[in-house]
Amino acid sequence: MQNRPILLNSCARAATAAEARFRIDAPITPSRGARVVALDRRAESIVRRVAEQRWSSARFFVCESPGSSNGDMADVALLSTDGSASRLSTELIGADVAVMVATADDGAEAACAIGDACTLRGIMTAGVVISDGFGAEATVSALRPHARVLMVTRDEHDVAEVLSALRA
Amino acid sequence: MLRPELNELLTQTGPGMPMGELFRQYWIPALLAEELPEDDCAPVRVKILSERLIAFRDSQGRYGLIDEFCAHRGASLWFGRNEEGGLRCAYHGWKYDVTGQCVEVPSEPENSNFCANVKLTAYPLIKVGDILWTHMGDPASRPEPPEFEFVHVPSEQTYTSKRWQECNWLQALEGGIDSSHVTWLHSGALRSDPLFKGAKGNQYNIGDLKPFFEVAEADGGLFVGARRNAEDGKYYWRITPWIMPSFTMVPPRGDHPVHGHFWVPIDDENCWVYTFDYHPVRALTAAERQAMEDGFGVHSENIPGTYRPVRNKDNDYLMDREAQRQGKHFSGVEGIAIQDSSLQESMGPIVDRTKERLVPADSGIIKARQKLRKAALALRDHGVTPPGVDPAHHRVRSAAIVLPREDSFLESCRDAVTATPGVPQTTV
Ligand code: FES
Ligand SMILES: [Fe+2]
């Protein structure tokens, strides 16, 4: 009990609503550089809808040819939802999280390529698997090794939910 | 991050608020059975969901939970005399039964019918396990009593304590869903706490500080899985269920009893934390029960005669910088429960969620908030019964398990996360 603080605002008792107004009100750095990638066709339409909302710096893509294995998945060809073509390696510059959206397991190879590229660069990975309960298993296993955080949900709004929570 | 109006929606549980109405759909703990130990014992003040109530047990052993204040001139019935089948106000002697019905107004003539028209608001109070539960919503939609396993195993297999926490219920609950803090805040306890130490699983916890997370829907809420590397390329999974609105269980460790929490809003700036420990198939040992009473594990050492922890915000939780430096306690605060409450209370009475910087590892919290919001709005706008009201949703368990890499935690653990009487918990 020695060295107990004596001023109200110098001890834990200051955790009151009244003291809260003295908290520093600095603006919060707006964004995490989020890259959102649809791994399959149904995911693409979900991601396109999400992309229409207002985001601070998130960018949205579909894998140009999801599921097709042309032997070079190492640098996935991406198509931005605004129509421009680019490469995963370019898009990961300045990114701090890659969010993969999947509804089926045919994006497994792309997920692997994205996961590897992110691991190499120290970029966080997250996956949202949207499923109505059936057949999610294969999709989840396809993503599991490559997404540090995986959300399995029936609700496609969760994609936007996660992004806004991350201030994307 | 949450918009201010969403933060308010989720944190305000008084009468008429959407989240308050949501809570009123469920049976929730009102007090511990030990608080009303015998017939005609002292009444107890109870404040939950921002309503001030009085609980008592009458001469016939019936439990009552009624408006704290006398209908006459508003004196607190806490001063009342609990006698002859009712609670009599100490001021002018008006008497009420457990249904809140006034049964006597001494100033009125002998044959007066005056008291028949005087009734205080009352809620049912039922004993299930060591807890007295109440349902503060519409009697017409009152669900069947709770079926959580910890209140249904024989009494020698279970122990429940409670403590007052000085912050909003939601930031306290979020601590129960957020399993990523365990490796840090509670690291000391994994090695030393009598109700934690020695489990094989602890080594996986300590050995892999960057778990992967998986969040999946359950009928009553969510399952949050945290996976860490185990030997031979296998994964060690810890699975935390959350049942709406505020029940969570901590994944087990070895053969230690399994524990969990139930958070109940007192008002918007305080909550009760009910903390339980039970073993599905065996009695608690004397040593385990003693450790729980002494505040080890997830329990707390309380100021005698109260449910306020000895380590509280008035004394900086007896922070011990030397223990912090030596790594005995990661934060310098002793006891898992108080490690949690100290940080959750430090966020302020209602944390300003417009200021937070969430990361993907917070996905469980993100999803839980979304489910609460949706359920509260669906109830308000369309009268939809929320998840977790159906007692069948209560029959869940936490689990700890080592699985081959390709196995899904939910597919492989369906039995493990279902509470089945007589079947031991799945644990490592
Ligand atoms: S590290 Fe989580 S609140 Fe500070
Ligand atoms: Fe904790």
Burial class (CB in 10 A: 0-12, 13-18, 19+), A70: exposed
pLDDT score of A3 more than 60: no
Tens-place pLDDT, residues A74-113: 689 999 999 999 999 999 999 999 999 999 988 999 999 9
Q: What is the pLDDT of residue B162?
A: 97
The region of weakest confidence among A73-77, B5-9, B271-275 is: A73-77
Residues 102-121 of A with CB under 8 A from B: none
Nearest-Cα distance to chain A for B115, in Å, is: 43
CA atoms within 13 A of residue B362's CA, in its CB half-sphere: 19
Looking at the partner chain, which of A140, A153, A162 has a beta carbon nearest the beta carbon of B408?
A: A140
Q: Please judge whether B345 and A15 are an interchain contact, meaning their C-beta atoms are less than 8 angstroms apart.
A: yes
Q: Which residues of B touch A15 (CB under 8 A)?
A: 166-167, 313, 345-349
CA angle B207, B208, B212 (to 5 degrees): 160
Q: Please give the model's pTM, rounded to 2 decimal places.
A: 0.94
Q: Compare A37 and A132 and report the one with higher pLDDT.
A: A37
Q: What is the pLDDT of residue B405?
A: 87
Query: Hey, how many other C-beta atoms are within 10 angstroms of the C-beta on B177?
Result: 23
Task: Give the start-to-end residue ranges of the domains of chain A.
Answer: 31-165
| Closest listed ligand to the CA of B172 | 2
Q: How far is the CA of B167 from the centre of ligand 1 (A)?
A: 17
Query: Hey, how many other C-beta atoms are within 10 angstroms of the C-beta on B121?
Result: 13
Q: Please judge whether B360 and A158 are an interchain contact, meaning their C-beta atoms are less than 8 angstroms apart.
A: no
The region of weakest confidence among A133-147, B242-256, B324-338 is: A133-147
The region of weakest confidence among A23-32, A95-104, B397-406 is: A23-32
pLDDT score of B400 more than 90: yes
**Which residue, among A62, A53, A57, A154, has the nearest Cα to A101 in the 3D structure?**
A62
Q: What percent of chain B has pLDDT over 70?
A: 100
Q: Please judge whether A12 and B406 are an interchain contact, meaning their C-beta atoms are less than 8 angstroms apart.
A: no
Nearest-Cα distance to chain B for A72, in Å, is: 25
Q: What is the pLDDT of residue A68?
A: 46
pLDDT score of A114 more than 70: yes
Tens-place pLDDT, residues B40-99: 999 999 999 999 999 999 999 999 999 999 999 999 999 999 999 999 999 999 999 999
Q: What is the pLDDT of residue A67?
A: 44
**Which residue, among B20, B25, B19, has the nearest Cα to B389 in the 3D structure?**
B25
Q: Which residue of B has its CA nearest to A152?
A: B216
* CATH of segment(s) A31-165: 3.40.50.1440
Tens-place pLDDT, residues A137-149: 889 989 999 999 9
pLDDT score of B245 more than 80: yes
